[in-house]
């Protein structure tokens, strides 16, 4: 495999072959970034859920490793699947899994039991039950041993929610410095509840608290993620951020999966969202991404102290994930996002930027140009190819007959521009948009060809700044300082490599554009 098949992401992680969904177990240990992920070793649709594994030194160049946790009984008779979870380096050997001074990596995951059974631990589970289990590795994540003597370590949902045993999953575990305890956050997916647990040794867990439902509810809540960050410019103030997936139930204009977050406080027991983060209507939310293809976002454990939080998300959507036209793999991960908190327009806001070492793949500047005014209609640009990064900045304005109503850059366009993906700004609604209605193949799902939008106000200089990351089958847009993000897959023809600027109804002022080619991370 040379990673040059049609639509193959050049600088996003995708497995060489087969189905992938959520990142599950992001841990930095021994100067290596580990990426474990939901994986079907047998095909390009969901099934036989196992943990795939890849490693990287820079979050950019990945090496795929052997499957880390292979569904029990695979392939003939799967009796346990390994659903989404997380991983930590147990540096103090609290679990006792370490031998001869070797630090164990410990994974915590959801055991999904397709059939009722008595387990090696003597515990009984029902058909379709989901429970939380652990496994450990003493060789830096290459091979894993499930803790069969006691698994599952969280057997049943807490009372009074026992009936929810089919919808209890996705443990995200981390070390809570202040209380010197392990904390795991799980969901009762259909009740829109996050359930928080704590432990001294990763083996025995006690119930700490529950959170929710709040803000957007949708179909189910999945994949909770909890972490702490200082507020930029106020380093003594640290806040906690709870991120979780909704499926279906993403932001306005999307169909299928979405991701929301809450900013608040966490004392090792209970998470309390800030009052201004709770919306009364149970519909609106703080959206982590306003596009259709950003789900199950998870943060790294084990990053050096003082480092920012880094998250990776599944760049796909349950609405059409299993039918996207890629082969012999399905799904890619987002660009690793470095998160921070900052006051923007008086409100503490989550900002996203590409993680710093990731930037090394942006190699050569191919285009740099400024215009006092871009005229109404389209302005041609040299072809930037199929994988590149755009920095686009322009003056905001209020409505005026001579000025544009929208301004956009078209990418991955055919030479007649019948095929193109537009990324731009609507000066009237004050929204960034991604328009993939004519982006290429959308035949596999009737909701795919859509327009997505996110609110963004101009910065203090009255300018709109957009960063766009274009790959062979995706665009990721960060607006402003990263306070809005829009992620969308696209499936254009291989020879759709043109670009142009489009200023609708009038001119756009003081435009600055820079395009850099992106290297392939696979060669």
Spatial CA neighbour of 473 closest among 41, 12, 134, 23 = 12
Least distance between ligand FRU and beta carbon 222 (Å): 4
**E strand segments, 57-154:** 62-69, 81-89, 105-113, 117-118, 124-125, 129-137, 145-146
- Using CB under 6 A as the binding rule, the residues of this chain from 426 to 485 that contact ligand FRU are none
**Closer residue to ligand FRU (CB): 169 or 193:** 169
- Those residues whose C-beta lies under 8 Å from the C-beta of residue 404, and which sit 6 or more positions away, are 376, 397, 427, 503, 504, 505, 506, 507, 508
Under the binding rule (CB under 6 A), the answer on residue 20 touching ligand FRU is no
**Closer residue to ligand FRU (CB): 210 or 510:** 210
Q: Which of 11, 22, 260, 330 binds ligand FRU (CB under 6 A)?
A: 22
Kindly list the distances between the CA atom of residue 446 and the CA atoms of 312, 425, 441, 449, 450, in Å, as whole numbers in the listed order.
27, 25, 11, 7, 9
Q: Which of 80, 90, 164, 170 binds ligand FRU (CB under 6 A)?
A: 170
x/- mask, ligand FRU, residues 277-316, rule CB under 6 A, reads -------------------x--------------------
Residue 356, helix vs strand vs coil:
helix
What span, in angstroms and rounded, lies between the C-alpha atoms of 189 and 238? 28
Number of residues forming the site for ligand FRU (CB under 6 A): 12
Under the binding rule (CB under 6 A), the answer on residue 273 touching ligand FRU is no
Strand partners, 132: 110, 154
User: HSE-up of 60 (CA within 13 Å, CB side)?
Assistant: 15
Q: Are 286 and 350 in contact (CB under 8 A)?
A: yes
Q: In what order do the strands lie in the sheet with 32-40?
A: 62-69, 50-56, 32-40, 18-29, 329-330
Spatial CA neighbour of 136 closest among 124, 123, 150, 146 = 146
Least distance between ligand FRU and beta carbon 132 (Å): 11
Q: Which of 10, 14, 21, 352 binds ligand FRU (CB under 6 A)?
A: 21
> 346 burial class (0-12, 13-18, 19+ CB within 10 angstroms)?
exposed
**Closer residue to ligand FRU (CB): 110 or 199:** 110
Least distance between ligand FRU and beta carbon 448 (Å): 18
- Using CB under 6 A as the binding rule, the residues of this chain from 176 to 235 that contact ligand FRU are 222-223
**Closer residue to ligand FRU (CB): 21 or 137:** 21
Q: Which of 26, 27, 49, 242 binds ligand FRU (CB under 6 A)?
A: 49
x/- mask, ligand FRU, residues 75-114, rule CB under 6 A, reads --------xx-------------------------x----
Residues tagged active-site: 22
Report the interface residues with ligand FRU, using CB under 6 A.
21-22, 38, 49, 83-84, 110, 169-170, 222-223, 296
């Amino acid at each position: 495999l040379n990673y040059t098949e049609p639509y193959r992401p050049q600088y996003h992680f995708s497995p060489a072959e087969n189905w992938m969904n959520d990142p599950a177990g992001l841990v930095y240990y021994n100067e290596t970034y580990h990426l474990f992920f939901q994986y079907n070793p047998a095909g390009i649709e969901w099934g036989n859920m196992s943990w795939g594994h890849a490693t990287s030194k820079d979050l950019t160049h990945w090496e795929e490793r052997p499957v880390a946790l292979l569904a029990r009984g695979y392939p003939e008779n799967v009796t346990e699947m390994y659903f989404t979870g997380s991983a930590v380096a147990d540096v103090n050997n609290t679990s006792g899994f370490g031998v001869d001074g070797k630090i164990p990596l410990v994974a915590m995951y959801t055991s999904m039991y397709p059939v009722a059974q008595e387990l090696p631990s003597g515990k009984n589970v029902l058909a379709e039950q989901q429970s939380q289990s652990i496994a450990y590795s003493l060789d830096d994540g290459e091979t894993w041993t499930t803790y069969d003597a006691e698994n599952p370590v969280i057997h049943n949902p807490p009372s009074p929610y026992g009936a929810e045993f089919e919808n209890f999953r996705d443990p995200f575990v981390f070390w809570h410095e202040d209380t010197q305890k392990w904390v795991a956050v799980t969901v009762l997916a259909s009740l829109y509840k996050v359930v928080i647990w704590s432990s001294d040794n990763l083996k025995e867990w006690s119930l700490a608290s529950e959170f929710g439902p709040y803000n957007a509810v949708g179909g189910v809540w999945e994949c909770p993620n909890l972490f702490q960050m200082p507020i930029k410019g106020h380093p003594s103030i640290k806040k906690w951020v709870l991120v979780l997936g909704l499926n279906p139930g993403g932001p306005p204009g999307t169909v299928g999966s979405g991701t929301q977050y809450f900013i608040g406080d966490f004392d090792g027991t209970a998470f309390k969202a800030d009052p201004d983060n709770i919306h009364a209507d149970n519909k609106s939310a703080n959206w982590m991404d306003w596009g259709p293809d950003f789900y199950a976002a998870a943060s790294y454990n084990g990053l050096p102290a003082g480092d920012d939080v880094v998250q990776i998300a599944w760049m796909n959507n349950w609405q059409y994930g299993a039918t996207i036209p890629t082969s012999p793999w399905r799904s890619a991960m987002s660009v690793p996002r470095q998160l921070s908190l900052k006051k923007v327009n008086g409100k503490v806001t989550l900002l996203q930027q590409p993680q710093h070492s990731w930037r090394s793949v942006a190699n050569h500047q191919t285009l740099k140009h400024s215009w006092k005014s871009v005229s109404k209609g389209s302005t041609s640009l040299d072809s930037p190819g199929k994988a590149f990064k755009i920095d686009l900045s322009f003056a905001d304005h209020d409505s005026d007959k001579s000025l544009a109503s929208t301004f956009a850059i078209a990418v991955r366009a055919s030479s007649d521009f019948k095929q193109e993906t537009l990324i731009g700004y609507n000066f009237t609604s004050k929204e960034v948009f991604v328009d993939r209605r004519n982006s290429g193949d959308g035949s596999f799902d009737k909701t795919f060809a859509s327009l997505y939008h996110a609110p963004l106000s101009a910065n203090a200089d009255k300018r709109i700044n957009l960063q766009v990351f274009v790959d062979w089958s995706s665009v990721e847009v960060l607006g402003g300082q990263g306070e809005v993000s829009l992620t969308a897959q696209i499936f254009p023809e291989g020879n759709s490599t043109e670009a142009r600027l489009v200023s609708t109804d009038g001119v756009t002022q003081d435009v600055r554009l820079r395009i850099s080619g992106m290297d392939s991370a696979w060669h």
